[in-house]
Amino acid sequence: MKSILLIVLVALVFHKSHGFWSECPGTGLPTLDSLESPNCSRDRCTAIRGEEFVARIHVTLHGAHNELRTRLTAFFFGIGINLPVVPPFDNMCNFIHFTNGTAASCPTIPNTQYVVDISMLVSPNYPALNNALVQADYFDGDERILCAQILSHII
């Protein structure tokens, strides 16, 4: 069973909003440089349970990270619902490459922009949510290094 890793990459505080995604408020953490997907409009991303979600993410990583573990949380009326992320989508290192298309891996090179291409099956076990905020957190060990929030519609 696969999940929506970066519906994902599911975000910038509304004063730094990019339409459907933003940074995680109050964290001071870096966020995505950009998120492009045929599944996303100017207002939100739509993930259809049981179908593929495709996204291209640009992200600048400021440290040498050995892993980029992913945690997705959907917020509905302020209540967080963990969305399981299964291998290989649980580690963004499996999908990164340099902006010139050359393959990359972890550990990452500090202050380098990477591209992450995702094409994954949205779990049919995810709850149906309309206009939910999905937060994507990325960890190297116990250290949270990136955070994005994406306005999402899961059907």
48-100 residue pLDDT tens: 999 999 999 999 999 999 999 999 999 988 899 999 988 898 999 999 999 99
pLDDT surpasses 80 at 18: no
pLDDT digit string (tens) for 129-144? 888 899 999 999 999 9
SS (H, E, C) the chain: CCCCCCCCCCCCCHHHCCCCEEECCCCCCCCCCEEECCCECCCCEEECCCCEEEEEEEEEECCCCCCCEEEEEEEECCEEEEECCCCCCCEHHHHEEECCCCECCCCCCCCEEEEEEEEEECCCCCCCEEEEEEEEEEEECCEEEEEEEEEEEEC
Q: Which CATH number fits domain 14-154: 2.60.15.10, 2.60.40.770, 3.60.21.10, 2.40.10.10?
A: 2.60.40.770
The gap between the terminal CA atoms of the chain, to the nearest Å, is 17
The separation between CA 12 and the C-alpha centre of its own chain, rounded to angstroms, equals 13
Confidence (pTM): 0.82
pLDDT value, residue 59: 93
Q: What is the mean pLDDT of the chain?
A: 85
pLDDT value, residue 14: 32
Domain locations in the chain as residue ranges: 14-154
